[in-house]
Structure 1
Amino acid sequence: MAHFEKKLESKEIFQGRVIRVTLDKVELENGRTSSREVVHHHGGAGIVALNEKGEVYLVRQYRYALDRELIEIPAGKLEADEDPFEAAKRELGEEAGLQADTYVDLSPMIPTCGYCSEIIYLYAAKDLHPVGQHLDEDEFLSVFTLPLEQAVEKVLSGEIVDGKTCTALLKLKALRDAGRF
């Protein structure tokens, strides 16, 4: 049996530049009603790039909501109706200054399914060549490389905690170990 909830009504609470928040009344599968707070987000795209030495490109970026610097793969938010693959390629160029000849879809991930509609589309890239970094005017980050195995160790030790980055690195390692990338 498939589980479900039926939206009965929805009230917009906030409309911002990046998110929209609604308070929804839903009917549960047992007939009772409940409320759901939903953060609506266009989603994002991220890309893990692997060079010929087996190193991945990562960025250090301060994240205001957490008041700390995180290690992440190049990534960014999608504009409404933007193609995720094109967005991932754009972010690789903007943040890491790279283009690739080979891309693999790592499949999407859902970072916070309990209250947010965001889906992050993940890709891997190889056969890289430089194109020159071109950050947004309000974007400040540092690019560095790590051997893939060392980056995975940082995921396992808790030094890398960003969800999209953990997912992308672990998927890339599994594909590489299986000889599929």
Structure 2
Amino acid sequence: MITKETTVSSDLIYTGKTIQLRVDTVEVPNKGYQKREIIEHKGAVGILAITEDKKVVLVKQYRKAVEQVLYELPAGKIEIGETPLDCAKRELKEETGYTVDSLKLIHKYYATPGFSNQQVFIYLAKGLTPGESHLEEDEFLEVYEIDLAEAYKMVYENEICDSKTVIGLLLSKELI
């Protein structure tokens, strides 16, 4: 039987620029108590930007947490007071220079619900107009336009292994 855990206490351990970490003490069904480490995150977006000639716009950047350079959808974290849609427009322009005629939410999911409340919103972007990117001072990335067929192949060959990018690309097969 699945039951809800009741929070008995919650202790904020760390507050950073991107996340907060708290430890909750919860009562479980057998009347015992357990600790739950929870990462709080304001949410993020990923943008599946498709050009008129059916290429997907990807960025390639180094990710310290996994010590690798990864191909990813243009993406970013939602700022305080910002909607996911506004974040998607902003991040697409900042990272790739593209502005967009049409943005449609195609999926939202919890990235790692076992220990985080981070929700990721995936948008389909069409009607792209090129422009100049405006990277943040700590961002270092390269922009690529890759044929969709090649991008699908890269997913299946584990060359693309970022979850938002895999999800966005696999969903695109039904949308494009």
Q: Deviations over 1:132-159 (max 9, x none)?
A: 1111111110001111121111111111
CA contact (8 A) 1:109 1:164 kept: no
Partner of 1:175: 175
Aligned equivalent of 1:160: 160
1:97 maps to what in 2? 97
| RMSD, matched Cα | 1.3
1:15-54 matches, within 5 Å, as 15-54=15-54
Runs of 4+ in 1 over 2 A off after TM superposition: 29-32
Which whole-Å deviations, capped at 9, do the CAs of 1:27-59 have from their partners, x for residues lacking one?
123433211000111111110100111100000
Structure 2 distance, partners of 1:171, 1:51, is 16
Query: Aligned partners of 1:78 and 1:23: how far apart in 2?
Result: 23
CA distance in 1, matches of 2:164, 2:113: 14
Residue identity opposite 2:9 in structure 1:
E
| 1:103 counterpart SS class | strand
Shift of 1:131: 2.6
**C-alpha deviation, 1:2, in angstroms:** 5.9
C-alpha separation between the residues in 2 aligned to 1:162 and 1:119?
A: 15
**How many pairs are equivalent?**
176
Normalised by the length of structure 2, the TM-score is 0.95
Normalising by structure 1, we get a TM-score of 0.92
Tell me, yes or no, if structure 1 residue 126 matches structure 2 residue 126: yes
Structure 1 segments unaligned to the other structure (5+ residues)? 177-181
Percentage of pairs with the same residue: 40
The reply on whether 1:68 has 2:71 as its aligned counterpart is: no
SS of the aligned residue for 1:138 comes to: coil
Unaligned 5+ segments in structure 2 are none
